[in-house]
Amino acid sequence: MKLLTIKIPAIAIVLLPHYAEAKPISYVGGVMAMQENDETGHTLSLDYTLSPNYAVGLYAKEEENGKHFDTIGPQLNTLIKRWNMPDGQANIFNMTGAGDSHYHGSDNFSAWSSILADYESRRVFTSYEIRGMYADHVETSVWQRARVGVAPYLANYDDLNTWFMVQVDDHPAKNQSFVVTPLVRFFYKTALVEAGYSSNHHVMLNWQWQF
């Protein structure tokens, strides 16, 4: 098994509110495609939202910056808790899946689970994610990621929205375990793309698309 990954710039369509981040659960009946390209590798996921609290999908990742292996399998996304406030929104999500990790010609059972908590308004954004990964005979790890961002101006849905963010990763299984990535995010109506350059000299390019 070998994942087909996209390693070139891409911009995708995404249905978003005024907030900064597309969620792992969208509107009921919606499909979301997301790709991330950063110092840990190349990730592609496709999710279908069943209800306001659950989405199912397919997760695939080509791991780099350490052992090089491919993982693919189904994933369940769950909205654990949401707080709607006059000027913002806070959420807690869980993403859990299981499948196959292919490494040096062998297939290995793998399972993963993560908790994502965020708070966002039209002006500020913060998030924290912790993720556990088990791939038999390949990797057992715990990874953490935090983000903080600010919008330099307040924009409406019909305007170009801009965010400046800093992302911090702590991934002990990687060769460079602690990485800081300044990034910029743009979205205009239904299009979102973000790009950055990490402290270990890797380009990060992410896009999301809901339809």
pLDDT, average across residues 112-118: 98
- DSSP E strand stretches across 39-138: 41-51, 54-63, 69-85, 88-103, 106-121, 124-135
The total number of structural domains that make up the chain: 1
* pLDDT at position 163 over 90: yes
Scanning the structure block, which residue is given the tokens 């039209």?
A: 122
What percent of the chain stands above pLDDT 90? 69
Q: How far apart are CA 194 and CA 36, in angstroms?
A: 10
Between these two residues, 41 and 7, which has the higher pLDDT value? Answer: 41
Residue 188 tokens read as: 């205009």
Q: Is residue 136 part of a domain?
A: yes
Q: Domain span at residue 186?
A: 2-205
Q: Residue 46 forms beta bridges with which residues?
A: 33, 58
Q: Is residue 88 part of a domain?
A: yes
pLDDT, average across residues 10-18: 35
Q: How far apart are CA 161 and CA 163, in angstroms?
A: 7
pLDDT, average across residues 98-122: 96
What percent of the chain stands above pLDDT 70? 90
Residue 190 tokens read as: 């239904």
pLDDT digits 0-9 by tens, 45-90: 999 999 999 999 999 999 988 899 999 999 999 999 999 999 899 9
Q: How far apart are CA 127 and CA 146, in angstroms?
A: 6
pLDDT digits 0-9 by tens, 189-203: 777 899 999 999 999
pLDDT, average across residues 19-23: 56
* pLDDT at position 5 over 50: no
Q: Is residue 211 part of a domain?
A: no
Per residue, the 3-state secondary structure of 166-207, as one string, reads: EEEEECCCCCCCEEEEEEEEEEECCEEEEEEECCCCCEEEEE
- The alpha carbon of residue 183 and the mean position of all alpha carbons in its chain are separated, in whole angstroms, by 14
Q: Is residue 81 part of a domain?
A: yes
Question: Residue 105: which pLDDT band, with cuts at 50, 70 and 90?
Answer: very high
Cα distance between the two ends of the chain: 28
- Residue 174 is part of a domain; what is its CATH number? 2.40.160
Using DSSP's 3-state secondary structure scheme, residue 145 falls into strand
Q: Is residue 210 part of a domain?
A: no
Q: Is residue 19 part of a domain?
A: yes
Instruction: Give me the chain's average pLDDT, please.
Output: 88
pLDDT, average across residues 159-170: 95
Q: In degrees rounded to 5, what are phi and psi of residue 179?
A: -135, 135
* pLDDT at position 165 over 60: yes
Q: How far apart are CA 15 and CA 30, in angstroms?
A: 9
